[in-house]
Each structure stands twice: as structure tokens, then as C-alpha cells.
Chain A
Amino acid sequence: MLTIGPALVLALPVLVVLLSLLQPQWQVWQHLAETVLSDYVKNSLILAFGVGAGTLVLGTCLAWCCHHYEFWGRRPLQWLLLLPLAMPAYIIAYSYTGLLDFAGPLQTALREVFGWGYGDYWFPEIRSLHGAILMLVLVLYPYVFMLAKTAFREQSQSLLEVSRVAGLSPFAHFVKVAVPLARPAILTGTALAMMEALADYGTVQYFGISTFTTGIFRTWFGLGNGLAAAQLSALLCSFVLLLLLLERWSRRKVRYFHLGGQHQVKRVPASGFKALWLWLFCALPVTLGFLLPVCMLIHWAWLTAEGHWNSRFLALAWNSFSLAALAALVILLVALIFAYARRLSASRWVHAPVTLVAMGYAIPGTVIAVGTMVPLVWFDKTLDALMQSWLGISTGLLLSGTVFALILAYAVRFLAVALHQVEAGLERIKPSMDQAGRTLGLSPQGVLTRIHLPLLTPSLLGALLLVFVDVLKELPATLILRPFNFDTLAIRAYEMASDERLADAALPALTILLVGIFPVIILSRAIEKATSMETADA
């Protein structure tokens, strides 16, 4: 009951979206099917699978390099590789467009140096489907990287020794042993990245790619048909459901548990050419996903700084930070409850609503926001009517338009992130550990605090980190649900950028990064510490 209640509340916004299917808008659908629907489906699928493949390969390889080898600069690179997490996808898209577009400095310089004109030379078009995939991979690979690194770390050192004895090369060990064993973590990260790609609006809209999300907004805003827009969202949900089922199915065959008897990780020292190669490989995503766009932003911010830097800016930063921190804590708590409920119960009644909520991750924020507003306003109106008849007082809107509404929307949108992390962590705790603990005289609470908590800490911190950063970057739901006179950095950056004042958007965007970086660094260090303690303990 502890689970079903909150799960149903959180599932309401998603249900509102799904219930729209009861009033089919045939005319709109016919028009869409005749004209643009096939583009939406095709582009969304290419985008999702492109981003999935990209993050999977890049994230896993990076994690392996940082886990398996010791080379100069590995330690700083290890957390530098997480920095792109703090970069909103639409910001990186703006920066690269500014840099690489036909009218940008790079191409202009090329034309000036070689005397070329339009059409005289080939240059990759950044504002294309490929470009969008690249942008999203650059900011989403840390999901896979983070999870894969933890998973590799938990693999027994003896496995590597066995492989060696069996005559497997290090590469063969990576492909045939390490990756298959880390599969649940890697696939979880990939699924998150794919869901994020499906829900992305800012990047694809700016690049002029017709996907489901841009289609949803076209249908809602352009055709003025909110129902049909919600139905498109429902169709998007079905994609996601498929993705979630696929992920579960891939995990079903084997249950992976924490392997005992570990040693400290012994990294293979690399030197010379190999070390350089490793360093370059790890430095590349940091440069492309973080340093380069940041340089572009700094350049813009420099041009506009004086007009924007004032005391209100601090208030913005504080709003963003406190909101993200509060939301992250609440969401983590909810995820923890849900994850345990699912671990302890096989009941469909527990699993189904939780799965429903998790779908929220791939629904665009605006749609979630409206989905949140409907039940909240209903609650407020019902309460008001009750109070009117009971006490003769009008309570008006009590919850709508408050921070509560925002947190609820964030919970629907980002619960999946926290849930995946926590569940991936829980899956590695063998049930036999619980049993051993109980045999040794621990109470159920004792099992929780003395066994689970220490083992879960890295996953919990990881969940906290990801949700914090996600909320910090979140835009559409914040925009529509927030209370009066409440602005965040993301809103400020977006308002400037959507007015095509990219240079003016740079300063708030940089501040988002600044506010986001510190938690990324602190939490990633804490995760590192917790993992190494755990490894040393075991």
C-alpha cells in the first residue's frame, strides 16, 4: 500500500496522457498519416537508436579504459568525463551551431583562406539528424560511462586472471567477459540515454528535424489540438514501454549479483604510445562535450557580461540549486521505496504502476506539465467545493502553481533515472546476503542499514547526481508550472536563446554549468570513495 498509493499519484500525469486515446482525433491523425507521421517515426527511431549505439560504445569503452589501465592523467580524466552531464543538450547544440555553421567563424575562416564560395567545398552539416545524434551522444554518454565503470569495478579481479590463463587477450577479455557481465548496468545507461533522446525537444527543434516531440508541439500549438498532441505522446510512450520491456527481457535470463572475494583493482600500467592514445581517447569526449562549447560560451559571455551580471543573478542561481537539490532528495526517496517494493513483492499491482511512472522519462516536459496540472487542479477544485459546503470558505488553488506542483512534475519526469540506478544497485545485492545477515542476528532494519546501505551508497549517490543535474537543466515543465516571479537559470538561458540572442544566453548557461559542476565533482568523488571502500571491505 505504501507503494501503490504514491505510485498511482505519480502515474496520474502519465495516465492523463494515455487516457487521451479514448477520444481519437481521426481527422488530425489522417492528416498526420498522409503527410508527416512517417517522418516523425523514422527520425525519432534513428535518433534514439543512433544515440543508444553511440552512448553504449563510447561510454563502455571509456569506462573500460579508465578501469583497466593506469596512465598519466587518468584520475582527473575520470571525473572530467562526467562534466558533459551538466551541459544541457540545447546549449551544446547552440554552441556548435555558432561554431560550425556556414556563417560561423570556422567556415568563414576557411572561405577567406581558400577563397571558396557557397557550394565550392564540402563541410559536414551540423544541423542535421547526424548532428543531433552527435550532440546528444556527447552529453549523454556519461550515463553509460558512470554505470559501466561501477559495474566493471565490481567484477572480480580473478576473472581477469582466469581469462589470461585461458589465453584470452585483454581485448577479448573486455568483449567476451567484462562487457557481458556488466550488461545490465550498460543497458540501463543506454536505455536512459535513449529515453532522453526521445524526449529531447530543444536540440531537434533547433536543428529543424521532425521528430515525435516536435510533432507533438506542432499538433498542439499549430493545429491547436491538445488531445491529438497527447495521443502522439501516448504513442511515444509505447516506444518507451517497448524499450523498457526489451531492457528487462535482456536482464531476465540471468540474475546478476555482487561477486564476493574481490581484491583492490589492479590497473595495467600503460606507457609511451599506448598511454598517449588512451589519454587522447579519454580527453576527446571531455573536449568536445564540455571544453569546446564552454569556450564558445565564454566568448559570448565576455561580449555581454556587463549587461547581465547583477544581484538578481545570484537569486536565479539559488533558485536553480535549491530546487534541484530538493527535487533530487525527494525523488531519490520515492525511488528507494519503489525499488524495495518491487524487490520484495512479485505482485503485478506493485510492478505495473511503477513501470507506468517510469515511462514519464521519455515524455516531453510540457506534456508532463499539463498532465500534472490536470489532477492537481482537480484536487484543488474538489477541496474548494468541500470547504465551501463545510466551512463556507473558498480555498482556491492550494497546490497548483506552487513548488509542490513542480516537484511532482519532476518526480514523474525523472523517477526513471533514480529508479534505474537504485534497482541496478539492488540487483547486485544477493538475497543470500540478507539471509546471512538475518542468521547472524541482524533485524530487518539491521540488514538494511548494515548491509544494504553501504553496498547501495554508490548507486544512491549516482541517482542523486543524475536527478540533480537533470532538474537543473529541466526547462519546459518548470516554465509552465512555476509560481509567480520564480525564475531559474535554465529559464533565463532559454528565453534568451529562443529569442535568438545566443550571446545573451551564454552567461546563464555558463552559470548552470558552474552550479552543476560542483555537485558532479563532489558526488563523483563520494561515489569513488564509497566504491573503493566497499571493494576493500569485501
Chain B
Amino acid sequence: MLKKFLALTICSVLVVPLVQANEVNLYSARKEALIKPVLDQFSAQSGIKVNLITGDADALISRIANEGKFSPADMLVTTDVGRLVRAKELGLLQAVQSEEIERQVPTHLRDADQQWIALTIRARPIMYAPERVDVKQLTTMEELTDARFKGRICVRSSSNIYNQSMVSAMIEQLGEENTLNWAKGLVANFARPPKGGDRDQIKAVAAGQCDIAIANTYYLAGMLNSADSQEVEAANKVKVLWPNQGDRGTHINISGAGITRHAPNKANAQALLDFMLSKEAQAWYAEHNGEYPLRSDVEQSDVLKSFGEFKAENIPLDKVGAQNATALKLMDKAGWK
């Protein structure tokens, strides 16, 4: 009797997921506001329902790891490459093959084993106050350590993943020792101890607290499109400088995604991944969040065009992700708070 009752209860619990089989479960480190509209478009087109949990990438990764083979997650979306590399290292992802990926995603922007791919590109250039900085004298990140920039540079904390990835990429290209010296030199030129986010650095440049900041472009784009007139005003006082155009190119990071190893709805996840590479999804990110599309046939927004064309780093991104811990320790040693 008890067994029957239990079996019945359990069956009724299990029937629910069976009925709603045409769905896909997404764990996203992208905030809801920056993914839901795209997911809604996907659902409208495909009839596949998307269930969403947003959160910090590492928290989501440890949730997938803990849930193991029972994890409902089909797909993990993150806003930087380091987390994707970590998820792969933990054996949480599986390889994906699709024509769309082959066509749209350059090889250095996807995992060597196809376990994750980039969805959009985010650039991290120098931003400066044009009336106080002579840009003819400034063409590389390395020059930021010059004594003439003492007390003139604002950067956010080394706890931030964008800085960690930037330093990781440097370690990969310049070596650990050179990068450590660079970080020490940069810290010596800080206008203030790191605080706030990228927008705060841009605002500090606009207000004159410092002359140079390092920040992701979409923050500046967001400020230019802000409802707050003060933000727009501040953003207009700042210009973008693309460093290292003569050599390795400007540092870029990605937002990306991978399909989980135990994905219960793999086919749907694959369809969603392809959709994220579609023209309309790529255009949405370019338009609404000032990120650079992977596809060349997507028109960049006017704001992005105003920042100008640039040459990007083209080292394989999985190498950047692998250096993350080294980068953080290096920044600790350099005194980068």
C-alpha cells in the first residue's frame, strides 16, 4: 500500500517535466535584463519555452557541479571566458557541433574541443580626457606605466574579472615577469585606490580626478544612452583610445556559452545556441548593450561606430581563461587592490 502510494506520488511529480518537455533550462551569468528579451524572441520563433536562472557565474558553476547528473541545466551562459574555461575544466560541459558555429564563430573565439563558444565580443580599451592627454604620446598599454602618468590613472579593483582577464591575456603574451613589472608600474600611477565599477572610472575622468581610465566600451555606450543627463554629459567628455594597434591589438573578452554535460534537452539547447548566433540576436546585443557582434553582416550601432574600428587581440581565449589564478596572484603581489 505504502509502496503504491509512494510510487503514485513520485510518478505525479515526474509527469510534470514530461508534459513540458519542449523547453530548455538556462543558467545565465548574464543579467535577466540583458538576456530575457532575446530568449523571448527565441521562444516566439521556435515554440520552445526557456526557463531561466541568473546569478554569479561561479555560483552557477558550483550549482551545476553539485547537481551532477541530475542537473536540470542545459546551457551555461557567462560574461567572460575564464568561467567557461573553469566549467570545462570541471567537466561540466560537452562538445557541440553545428554549421552555424563553424560559420559564425572564429576559431580563436571558441574552445579547442568545441565545449564553449563566444556569443559577443567586449573590448577593454583606454579612455581619456582629450583636453588633458596628448594621445600622440600614448599608443600602448605598456606606456601607461611611464612616470608622466603618475597620479593620473583610474582602474577598478583587481577583484573584477575584466581586469583579471586583461592581465591573464598579458601574461600569455608578455610573460609573467614583464606583466608583474607592468602591473607594479600601473599601480604606482594610480590616481586613487581602486573603487567602484567601470562607469565610476569613466566618471572620474570626466570630473577631472584622473585623466586616463581602463574600461569596457559597453559601459561608455550605456552612459551615452543613459536616461540620466549627468551620465551622458560625463560620457561626452571622454574619448576611446585603442591601444597596441601596432602590435598585439586591444584586449578583448567575450560573453559565451556552453551546453552542459548532462543536458536533458540537448537538442533544444543547440537550437538556442544557434539562435544566439543569428543576425537578430547579435544585432540586439550590439544595439542594446554596446557589445561587438561576431557576425560581420550585423551592423554596429551608431555609438559603437563612433568609437572607431580597432584591431583586437587574437590569442586563443582558452589560454586566457587558464591564466586567471596566476593573474590574480600577480595583481596581489603588485599591490593592485
Contacts and interface: CB of A to CB of B under 8 A. Distances in A.
Interface residues of A, number: 71
B67 A103 contact: no
Interface residues of B, number: 66
Contacts of B231: 503
Interface stretch (A221-229, A281-289, A321-329): A221-229
A102 B332 contact: no
A515 to B, nearest CB: 19
A380 interface: yes
Interface in A489-516: 491-492, 495-496, 498-501, 503-504
Given A373-B63, A485-B52, A395 B207 contact: no
Contacts of B158: 222
B226 A103 contact: no
B61 to A, nearest CB: 10
A225 B206 CA distance: 38
Contact of A224 (B157, B219, B324): B324
B325 interface: yes
Interface string A43-55: 0000000000000
B207 A380 contact: no
B196 A495 contact: no
B209 A223 contact: no
Instruction: Give the most central of A214, A380, A395, A480: most B CB within 10 Å.
Output: A480
Contacts of A103: 200, 203-204, 206-207, 209, 234
A36 B158 CA distance: 12
Contacts of A108: 207
Nearest to B197: A500
Interface in B50-102: 51-60, 62-63, 66-68, 70-72, 86
Nearest to A305: B227
Contacts of A397: 67, 70-72
Given A370-B62, A495-B32, A395 B328 contact: no
B59 A366 contact: yes
Q: Which 7 A-B pairs have the closest CB atoms?
A: A208-B195, A484-B51, A103-B203, A103-B207, A222-B328, A35-B332, A495-B31
24 contacts: A208-B193, A214-B159, A218-B159, A221-B57, A222-B164, A225-B325, A304-B227, A307-B227, A366-B59, A369-B59, A370-B59, A374-B66, A377-B68, A384-B70, A387-B10, A391-B6, A393-B10, A395-B13, A397-B72, A476-B56, A476-B59, A482-B53, A495-B54, A498-B31
Interface of B: 3, 6-7, 10-11, 13-14, 25, 31-34, 51-60, 62-63, 66-68, 70-72, 86, 156-159, 161, 164, 193-200, 203-204, 206-209, 219, 222, 226-228, 230-231, 234, 324-325, 328-329, 332-333, 337
